[in-house]
């Protein structure tokens, strides 16, 4: 498990103590409120009596107030945002969450819900002195049904642990992402996380069967059903999926787990240009059909930098683009044959320049590791501006060369990679250090370009703290007003994750 403290990433996630020691010697990120010039809202300030009350509710051990202990919970994964919270609460039950929120709502203390703190848009850390409610101790699996595939658990369960447990029952979690060793299912639900196999298993609005959440005033909303079909009134669970902790705190989750595939095969291919990737995607869908579980792409810069910065092997030579294809099926020989046939056919056609196919767990892991590590590889070289956009597939890669030209020598690297099958590209721009000048070259330019092709400015990471003032590029005024109305209804004092998702009027 990865702690919320992390400085050098992905392959070098550290344990708590090592992380803490590093904070002592490295420069801290600038305070978010100063960096982004935000004004504190009129919430109450934490007083000694509040801390005493929290200790009365949770006991001394689960109320952190020591500055060094609290610091890692104030800083986000990419070290872009830093809050100023003075207290971290670690509830163990829904009842405790409810009591905390009732108290905070009455006192008008702002709250920042926090899961694994792997979010990439600054939503998981406070901006000012919000009370951090970290869900790590709500980590029990309640039940798992081998027949229906329904797993019920508390929100703080780590995604990878759930997947390991599901595998013992011949099931898998329907989502997988590079942060699986740290992110929590409650965080996944609250961000509507997509990930690597959305192409095959769909998004969480489909997989989440039910959930339990606590509203800002402490009311527990029980929608923890495991039924596949339940059309009794409004589908309230969807309000909490993707609302990034602004409408309620998710405390329990019921999720549908697909059957563990008997055969998994991974192919990693070199490709000449992006046009050929799209042709290859079409061909993969028709040749591999129902067994296709992932179709990922990365450009040369993504792979070569990850390989160099994190010392990870690239199993094939250098190519302008790479494609990772994975199949989940029920017959290893059949699936490997299908993938090898696809490889042979497309090598002959010239769409694939070189490639490797494997069903060996170790080899597959090496390939996935390279792909999953791209997200953190740039951080070794400086500050990374991260964009996560949905774009119609025919324009998918167009922005990357445009941004390379626009940034010129101000960028160390500009790389594009992502989930081609979902039209979701991640663009990472590494610069030696954060500057407002670099930021203004990129924003709002990128969002304007995305809006021109009817894309989304956030495909899967959410809006968080970083993007509320750009949300209008993807949501019209009437939709935004309805979102404000919902927020007002569910959290009239606005205590839940303020400064996030909705823009200031
Ligand atoms: C290496 C890496 C790879 C990643 N890959 C992907 C990817 O492929 N796809 C993808 O979608 N994301 C990806 N992410 C982003 C991130 O991992 C996901 O957004 C993840 O779902 C966040 O989960 P978390 O538990 O860390 O939540 P946090 O980061 O702690 O919180 C995220 C948001 O959810 C809220 N929140 C957390 N828990 C709760 C709760 N119980 N109740 C209410 N609100 C809550 C927080 O307030 C915050 O707004 C990646 C991140 C990293 C570091």
Q: Does residue 212 fall inside a structural domain?
A: yes
Is 476 part of any domain?
no
Whether 308 and 393 map to the same domain: the answer is: no
- 121 C-alpha to center of ligand 1: Å? 9
20 lies in the same domain as 104 = yes
Cβ of 460 closer than 6 Å to ligand 1, yes or no, is yes
Structural domains of the chain, count: 4
Using the atom order of ligand 1, give the atom closest to the CA of residue 213: 42
Helices 16-25, 67-74: inter-axial angle, 10-degree rounding: 90
Q: Label residue 505 by pLDDT band (50, 70, 90).
A: confident
Tens digits of residue pLDDT in 34-63: 999 999 999 999 999 999 999 999 999 999
pLDDT tens per residue across span 392-440: 999 999 999 999 999 999 999 999 999 998 999 999 999 999 999 999 9
What CATH number did the domain enclosing 303 receive?
3.30.70.2190
Q: Residue 484 domain-assigned? A: no
- Cβ neighbour number for residue 103 with a 10 Å cutoff: 17
The mean pLDDT value of the chain amounts to 93
Distance 77 CA to ligand 1 centre (A): 10
Burial of 417 (0-12, 13-18, 19+ CB in 10 A): buried
Residue 381 binned pLDDT confidence (cut-offs 50, 70, 90):
confident
Q: Is residue 173 part of a domain?
A: yes
Over residues 299-309, the pLDDT tens digits come to 999 999 999 99
User: Checking phi first, is residue 122 left (phi over 0); if not, alpha (psi -120 to 50) or beta?
Assistant: left
What is the predicted pLDDT for the residue at 2? 32
359 and 440 together in one domain: no
What is the pLDDT at residue 24?
42
Last residue of a domain, one of 134, 152, 184: 134
| In a domain? residue 145 | yes
For residue 372, count other CB atoms closer than 10 A to its CB. Answer: 20
Same domain, 250 and 366: no
Asked if 343 and 284 count as a contact pair (C-beta separation under 8 A), the reply is: no
**What mean pLDDT is predicted for residues 479-488?**
98
**Is there an atom of ligand 1 within 6 Å of 211 CB?**
no
CATH number of the domain residue 387 falls in: 3.30.70.2740
Distant-in-sequence, close-in-space partners of 149: CB < 8 Å, separation ≥ 6: 171, 256, 257, 258, 259
Asked if 390 and 316 sit in the same domain, the reply is no
State whether the beta carbon of 376 lies less than 6 angstroms from ligand 1: yes
pLDDT number for residue 22: 43
Closest CA to ligand 1's atom 21:
188
Whole-number Å distance between alpha carbons of 356 and 358? 7
Pairing of strands 292-299, 321-329: antiparallel
Tell me what the mean pLDDT of segment 360-386 comes to.
94
Q: Is the residue at 191 inside a domain?
A: yes
User: How confident is the model at residue 20, as a pLDDT?
Assistant: 36
In a domain, 502, yes or no: no
Q: What is the mean pLDDT of residues 170-195?
A: 97
Residue 443 Cα to chain centre, angstroms: 21
CA 87 to centroid of ligand 1, rounded, Å: 21
Residue 187 to residue 113: CA distance in whole angstroms: 9
Give residue-wise pLDDT tens across range 235-278. 999 999 999 999 999 999 999 999 999 999 999 999 999 999 99
Residue at a domain's end among 216, 237, 256: 256
| Predicted pLDDT of residue 26 | 61
Do 437 and 332 have their domain in common? Answer: no
From 32, 183, 424, the mutation candidate for ligand 1 (largest count of ligand atoms within 8 A of CB) is: 183
The CB of 252 under 6 Å from ligand 1? The reply is no
| Residues 187, 211 within the same domain | yes
Shared-domain flag, residues 25 and 92: yes
Q: Calculate how far, in angstroms, residue 7's C-alpha sits from the geometric centre of ligand 1.
A: 17
Q: Provide mean pLDDT across the span 178-182.
A: 96
The separation between CA 216 and the C-alpha centre of its own chain, rounded to angstroms, equals: 24
**Arithmetic mean of pLDDT, 359-376:** 95
Of 374, 404, 423, the last residue of a domain is 374
Q: Is the CB of 178 under 6 A from ligand 1?
A: yes
In total, the chain counts a number of residues equal to 505
Distance between CA atoms of residues 177 and 313, nearest Å: 20
CATH of the domain at 48: 3.30.43.10
242 lines ligand 1 (CB under 6 A): no
Which residue owns the Cα nearest ligand 1 atom 16? 119
Q: Ligand 1 centre and the CA of 316: distance in Å?
A: 32
**Domain shared by 55 and 74, yes or no:** yes
> Each residue of 309-358: pLDDT tens digit?
999 999 999 999 999 999 999 998 888 888 888 989 999 999 999 999 99
SS3 295: strand
Domain span including residue 22:
10-134
CA 213 to the chain's CA centroid: 20
Q: Residue 375: pLDDT above 90?
A: yes
Share of the chain above pLDDT 70, in %: 95
Shared domain check, 336 and 396:
no
For residue 216, give the CATH number of its domain. Answer: 3.30.465.10
- Are 244 and 154 contained in the same domain? yes
Residues 206 and 274 in one domain: no
If one residue of 101, 131, 176, 177 were mutated to test the ligand 1 pocket, choosing by the most ligand atoms within 8 A of its CB, it would be: 177
Q: Distance from the CA of 459 to the center of ligand 1, in angstroms?
A: 13
Ramachandran angles phi, psi of 170, nearest 5°: 60, 35
Residue 413 lies in a domain: yes
Query: In which order are the strands placed within the sheet that holds 249-256?
Result: 141-144, 150-154, 249-256, 208-214, 220-223
Backbone angles phi, psi at 357, to 5 degrees: -125, 135
pLDDT band at 10 (very low <50, low <70, confident <90, very high): very low
Q: Is 4 in the pocket of ligand 1 (CB under 6 A)?
A: no
Whole-angstrom Cα distance, residue 147 to residue 150?
A: 8
């Amino acid at each position: 498990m990865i702690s919320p403290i992390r400085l050098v990433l992905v392959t070098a996630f550290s344990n708590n103590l090592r992380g803490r020691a590093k904070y002592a010697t490295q420069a801290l990120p600038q305070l978010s409120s100063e960096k982004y010039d935000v004004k504190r809202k009129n919430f109450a300030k934490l007083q000694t009596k509040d801390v005493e009350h929290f200790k009365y509710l949770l006991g001394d051990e689960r109320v952190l107030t020591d500055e060094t202990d609290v610091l890692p919970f104030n800083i986000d994964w990419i070290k872009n945002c830093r809050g100023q919270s003075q207290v971290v609460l670690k509830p163990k039950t829904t009842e405790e969450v409810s009591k905390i929120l009732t108290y905070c709502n009455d006192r008008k203390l702002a709250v920042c819900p926090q899961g694994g703190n792997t979010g990439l848009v600054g939503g998981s850390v406070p901006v000012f002195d919000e009370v951090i409610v970290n869900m790590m101790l709500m980590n029990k699996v309640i039940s798992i049904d081998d027949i229906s595939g329904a797993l019920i658990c508390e929100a703080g369960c780590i995604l990878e642990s759930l997947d390991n447990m599901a595998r013992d029952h011949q099931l898998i979690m329907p989502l997988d992402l590079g942060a699986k060793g740290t992110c929590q299912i409650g965080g996944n639900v609250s961000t509507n996380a997509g990930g690597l196999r959305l192409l095959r298993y769909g998004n969480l609005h489909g997989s989440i069967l039910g959930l339990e959440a606590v509203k800002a005033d402490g009311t527990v909303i029980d929608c923890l059903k495991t039924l596949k079909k339940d059309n009794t009134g409004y589908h309230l669970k969807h309000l909490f999926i993707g609302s990034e902790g602004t409408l309620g705190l998710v405390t329990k989750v019921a999720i549908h787990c697909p059957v563990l595939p008997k055969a998994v095969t991974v192919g990693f291919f070199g490709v000449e240009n992006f046009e050929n990737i799209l042709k290859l995607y079409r061909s993969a869908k028709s040749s591999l059909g129902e067994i296709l579980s992932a179709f990922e792409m990365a450009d040369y810069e993504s792979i070569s930098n990850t390989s160099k910065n994190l010392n990870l092997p690239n199993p094939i030579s250098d190519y302008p683009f790479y494609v990772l294809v994975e199949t989940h099926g029920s017959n290893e020989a059949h699936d490997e044959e299908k993938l090898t046939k696809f490889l042979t056919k497309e090598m002959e056609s010239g769409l694939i320049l070189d490639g490797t196919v494997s069903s060996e767990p170790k080899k597959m892991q090496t390939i996935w590791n390279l792909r999953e590590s791209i997200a953190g590889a740039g951080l070794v070289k400086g500050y990374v501006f991260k964009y996560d956009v949905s774009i119609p597939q025919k324009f998918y890669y167009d922005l990357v060369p445009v941004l390379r030209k626009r940034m010129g020598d101000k960028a160390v690297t500009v790389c594009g990679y992502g989930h081609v099958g979902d039209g979701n590209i991640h663009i990472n721009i590494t610069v030696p250090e954060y500057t407002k000048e670099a930021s203004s070259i990129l924003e709002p330019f990128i969002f304007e370009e995305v809006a021109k092709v009817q894309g989304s400015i956030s495909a899967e990471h959410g809006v968080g703290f970083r993007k509320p003032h750009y949300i209008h590029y993807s949501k019209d005024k009437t939709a935004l007003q309805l979102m404000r109305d919902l927020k007002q209804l569910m959290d009239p004092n606005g205590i839940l994750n303020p400064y996030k998702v909705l823009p200031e009027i």
